[in-house]
Structure 1
Amino acid sequence: MPSIRTEILANGLPLHRMALEGTRATTILVAFDAGARTERPEENGMAHFLEHLVFKGGEKYDDYRKVNETAERMGGSLNAYTSHDLVAFHITVRAEATMEALDLLTDFVGRPLLDQEELDKERGVVIQEIARYADQPSAVAEELIDKAAFGDHPLGRTVLGPEEHLKTFSRDGIIAFRERQWAGSRGGAFIVGNVSHLEDGAATNELLERFPTLDAPGPFEPAPAFTPQVLVTERDSNQSHLRMIYRPDVDVTDVKQRAALTIYSTLLGGSMGSRLFDEIREQRGLCYSVYSVDHAFADVPILQLGAGLESGKCAEAFTRMKEIVAELHADGPREEEVERARAYAAGRRVLAFENTNAVARTAANQAIVFGEDIDPDQIVERFDAVTFDAVADIARRVDPTTLAIACVGPHSADEFAA
């Protein structure tokens, strides 16, 4: 069982120390409730752009070379991510380098220079990143399905934002976004793994208090009512990328319902033994890739299905995928497949939690998005405790007639009409 200690620092930032036995690694992760869904319309792409910019240096490590070379000298893996939910920065090192890694991360993330010249250079880099995604049909399909499910709501916009926005972002605007959203009370610092080299008290707290004390931001825009669309980006190709989103009638604040939704998603299309994989890929040979995945935002759940396949087989695969969801809704799952999916989902989580970075990322989502306990053992136990009846109930809560649809390939929207 992990040993977890939590305290609130002077700047409002919660500090979670999570000691895990049997590892020589330590992950330090700092995250804020400042993802893409917190952006105003004209700011779309700013959260991700800011993530890039802080790596250009802080007060002590004052250029990108010092940041990168310092991380490499301690053998560290340094990275960051921006989602609709969060922005997070993390470094994983051997335990002996914990304090040095904390000094590095809190310097360039907690007090970034945000140099104008570096901003202008990085602007071009992110525009190239946007162009790269536009060249990848599967990435376009992912962006398209969000729009089909959420429209012009922030959850329907891309994390990267449009190129025209990147061209307009000013240093003052970026600083204003950071000061509005990066409040300690809406974030968290997570130090996970072998914490034997983490200094208690003043030394650790002083480094994390490099993050300024900021007022908590206002609430994000609630998720809209589900008014799904069918969106198609036509491309002259022999491959299609299909995406479908359902919105289950699930209370995302109920950890038991979320766990049951994950088991349902697993038996539907989350493993090689799942219904989608077995029938769409193995029995019918309609595609190489087919899956389902669930995700819970702070106020709304989604169930996403996807497939990459030969364009001539898209219509048959789409029809059969819808039918499988409808069959589960009408007839429910089998006890054997629930048992297998529960074991698989729990086992995958146990294996993931062998990695200190995965534990830290999960803890950040639990604490910041949902305000829940971060004990990884409890997360596994929730999967183990999911009952057949709970999964059958989830199947009934997925309306098979109401779904958002997106496709990239040689198709038109009327091919996906009900």
Structure 2
Amino acid sequence: MHKKIVLTNGLRVILVPRASTSAFTVLIAFKAGSIDETNDIAGIFHFFEHMTYKGSKKRKTPYDVAEYMDSIGGEHNAYTGKEYTAYYVKASSQHFEQALDFLSDNILHPLLPESEIEKEKNVILEELKTYEDIPQDKVKELFEEAIFGESKIGKPIIGRKDSISAISKEKIKSYQDKYYYPENAVIAIAGSIPNNENKIVALIEKYFEFISSDLTLNRRAIEKVYGKRIVVKKQKTEQSNIVIGFKVLGSESKEWYALKLLAKIIGGSMSSRMFNNIREKLGLAYFVSTSYCDYRNFGYIATRAGVDNDKVDLAIRSIVNEYQKVLTGGLNDRELLNAKEMFRGSIAIDMEDSEFLAEDYALTELIEEKIEPPEELMKKYDTITRKDVEIVANKYIKDFYAAAIGPRVSKDKIAPLITNNQTPITSK
């Protein structure tokens, strides 16, 4: 069970008590992600996320921040996405108030010292280099460029070298004031929490006292997206990393459950089609996996693999062939049942983790503006039929997009390999 409370300042609070644990997680998420940034300041939300742990009103230095969290035996972290930024603390229930104090002070009262800003620029530029040196991660970024083009949703969260270098204290404060206000945030608290709702609300009102604002929830216009179809990066690597996929709708679509099941059947497990054929039968890859990426208004299903530099063409043809076999041969009931059971199992496991619960409730409310408890998800998965999944397969498995990193990858070679010639399936 959960309860949603809206405070007088517009801040939404979601309580998810769990008696089976002695720990809790408090997470606050803001509807402020990389798609809200302008090109000249790309990466500023990710930068601000870093700066919230560099000194605050109560804890002046990075050491003071770290030492305080150690003193209560807790964990803290933050992450920036394309549609949000989130911060959390996870600790034992006896430190409930200290966690709220710590989180609010870091986010609402960061000192943003100029010396730390300059140091953090170097840190993030090194982080940027790290991404460039990890092709299995970088290739996903290139795939989003291929499928979303120059749109905001297609650009990397971390920003670019020039935009990171241009960040200043004034620009950070400007973006903080514009997006970090109560109506644009959700706090979720899950796990072992006080059995006194009034006490919890009083503590949140005490510590999360935002600067007054007349702003309302950040409403984003849906931008037009024009993909590049194929993006490649030639790089000296021991293996080539590839991503092949197709556009679908995002998380607000009524087809969401069928799309999740389709991706799971295609390549979301060790018994899936991609794993069984690309790895086990053909021996083309150690790692191969298919997933559904679901932003609110945009989405895609894509398969990633790391393959021998001499077998890129064969691997791409084989991945496209597996997609097309879904259309020519259809699905079977056993695959659908297994996919549902995998979701049932992962939901049951995730519900034991207060961090997962806090994140799930907060981000669903923030992005979708609704609450869908994890235990309710399975009921909806169970309503999806094989025909439902085949309908979305027929609708979306077409117009393939590709990204690749390796020493000999090229657009000219990839283009004919992702040409689609499938025949629609008819459910038996």
Interval of TM-score (by shorter of Structure 1 and Structure 2): over 0.9
Offset of residue 385 of structure 1: 3.2
- Counterpart amino acid of residue 404 in structure 1: Y
User: 2:131 maps to what in 1?
Assistant: 133
Q: Is the 8 A contact 2:240 2:312 kept in 1?
A: yes
Offset of residue 210 of structure 1: 4.2
User: 1:397 maps to what in 2?
Assistant: 395
- Counterpart amino acid of residue 130 in structure 1: L
Partners of 1:30 and 1:352 in 2: CA distance: 19
Partners of 1:356 and 1:239 in 2: CA distance: 38
Partners of 1:279 and 1:121 in 2: CA distance: 48
- Counterpart amino acid of residue 241 in structure 1: N
Offset of residue 218 of structure 1: 5.2
User: 1:113 maps to what in 2?
Assistant: 111
Equivalent of residue 346 in structure 1, options 344, 365, 376 = 344
Q: Is the 8 A contact 2:245 2:303 kept in 1?
A: yes
Partners of 1:157 and 1:234 in 2: CA distance: 19
Q: Does 1:409 find its partner at 2:406?
A: yes
- Counterpart amino acid of residue 402 in structure 2: I
Offset of residue 389 of structure 1: 2.1
- Counterpart amino acid of residue 403 in structure 2: A
Q: Is the 8 A contact 2:182 2:210 kept in 1?
A: no
Partners of 1:266 and 1:379 in 2: CA distance: 15
Aligned-residue sequence identity (percent) comes to 24
Identify if the C-alpha distance between structure 1 residues 150 and 116 changes in structure 2 by more than 3 Å, giving closer, same or farther. Answer: same
Identify if the C-alpha distance between structure 1 residues 14 and 301 changes in structure 2 by more than 3 Å, giving closer, same or farther. Answer: same
Residues 228-266 of structure 1, C-alpha deviations (whole Å, 9 max, x = no match): 421110123330000123112x46424x52122111111
Q: Is the 8 A contact 1:330 1:396 kept in 2?
A: no
Partners of 1:392 and 1:331 in 2: CA distance: 10
Identify if the C-alpha distance between structure 1 residues 417 and 203 changes in structure 2 by more than 3 Å, giving closer, same or farther. Answer: closer
How is 1:222-301 mapped onto 2 (pairs within 5 angstroms)? Answer: 222-248=222-248, 250=249, 252-254=251-253, 256-301=254-299
User: 1:40 maps to what in 2?
Assistant: 38
Identify if the C-alpha distance between structure 1 residues 166 and 209 changes in structure 2 by more than 3 Å, giving closer, same or farther. Answer: same
Residues 201-226 of structure 1, C-alpha deviations (whole Å, 9 max, x = no match): 42332212246546136533524345
Partners of 1:212 and 1:18 in 2: CA distance: 28
Offset of residue 82 of structure 1: 0.5
Partners of 2:318 and 2:155 in 1: CA distance: 29
User: 2:385 maps to what in 1?
Assistant: 387
Residue segments in structure 2 that go unaligned for 5+ positions in a row:
417-428
Partners of 1:281 and 1:288 in 2: CA distance: 6
- Counterpart amino acid of residue 208 in structure 2: L
How is 1:18-417 mapped onto 2 (pairs within 5 angstroms)? Answer: 18-196=16-194, 199-210=199-210, 213=213, 215-216=215-216, 219-248=219-248, 250=249, 252-254=251-253, 256-400=254-398, 402-410=399-407, 411-417=409-415
What is the count of residue pairs matched by the alignment? 413
- Counterpart amino acid of residue 78 in structure 2: A
Residues 147-170 of structure 1, C-alpha deviations (whole Å, 9 max, x = no match): 111111111111111111111111
Partners of 1:14 and 1:242 in 2: CA distance: 41
Counterpart secondary structure, 2:200: coil
Residue segments in structure 1 that go unaligned for 5+ positions in a row:
none
- Counterpart amino acid of residue 379 in structure 1: L
Identify if the C-alpha distance between structure 1 residues 214 and 350 changes in structure 2 by more than 3 Å, giving closer, same or farther. Answer: farther
Offset of residue 301 of structure 1: 1.8
Partners of 2:364 and 2:96 in 1: CA distance: 23
Partners of 1:341 and 1:349 in 2: CA distance: 12
- Counterpart amino acid of residue 346 in structure 2: R
Residues 362-394 of structure 1, C-alpha deviations (whole Å, 9 max, x = no match): 112211111121422112332333322221222
TM-score by length of 2: 0.92
Partners of 1:163 and 1:221 in 2: CA distance: 27
- Counterpart amino acid of residue 72 in structure 1: D
- Counterpart amino acid of residue 120 in structure 1: E
- Counterpart amino acid of residue 405 in structure 2: V
Computed over aligned residues only, the root mean square deviation of the Cα atoms, in angstroms, reads: 1.8
